[in-house]
Amino acid sequence: MADCIFCMISQGKVPCHKVYEDEKCFAFLDIAPVSRGHVLVIPKEHAAKMHELSDESCPALMLAVKKVSKAVQEAFSCDFNILNNNGKMAGQAVHHVHFHVIPRRGIKEEFSFNWVPRKQQGDDDAEEILERIKERIIGSANKQ
């Protein structure tokens, strides 16, 4: 996509600190890292959100996330978060699918991800939620 910053980065049109590249994926340092070694892993295919990504790019992306995560873990002997935001309400600022790999070394690198308020899942509502989601899962063995 012509005006997408992450497409431009993966095509070499905008500079970045490249960490990894293969046929379908690309990884580079985040310009504003949450912690030292914060990497973004993207598909070369342009898709704004995860559910819009092709079935070909999806497994390739997960494998690239795993490879980058392993390298980051070994490089810094750290724990790490893998985060993926989809849509503005979910905090997505760049609308090209990307996974954040964020090293976590301790209290000095705390960052907040707003998990509150949280409620107890009620059984009645759980049934309705299951019905709505499960009937939309394509090719699923979930159907009973």
Give min distance, CB of 4 to ligand 5GP, in A: 11
Tell me how far CA of residue 63 lies from CA of 20, 57, 68, 99, 129, in angstroms: 12, 10, 9, 12, 30
100 in catalytic set = no
> Between residues 3 and 123, which has the closer beta carbon with respect to ligand 5GP?
3
**Chain centroid to CA 88: how far?**
14
Question: How many residues make up the chain in this entry?
Answer: 144
The footprint of Zn ion on this chain (CB under 5 A) covers a number of residues equal to 6
Q: Which is nearer to ligand 5GP, 57 or 85 (CB)?
A: 85
**Is residue 78 involved in binding Zn ion (CB under 5 A)?**
no
CA distances, 84 to each of 4, 42, 77, 80 (Å): 18, 10, 22, 13
| Residues near Zn ion, by CB under 5 A | 1, 4, 6-7, 46, 96
Active-site positions? 98
| Residues near ligand 5GP, by CB under 6 A | 5, 16, 28-32, 40, 85, 91-94
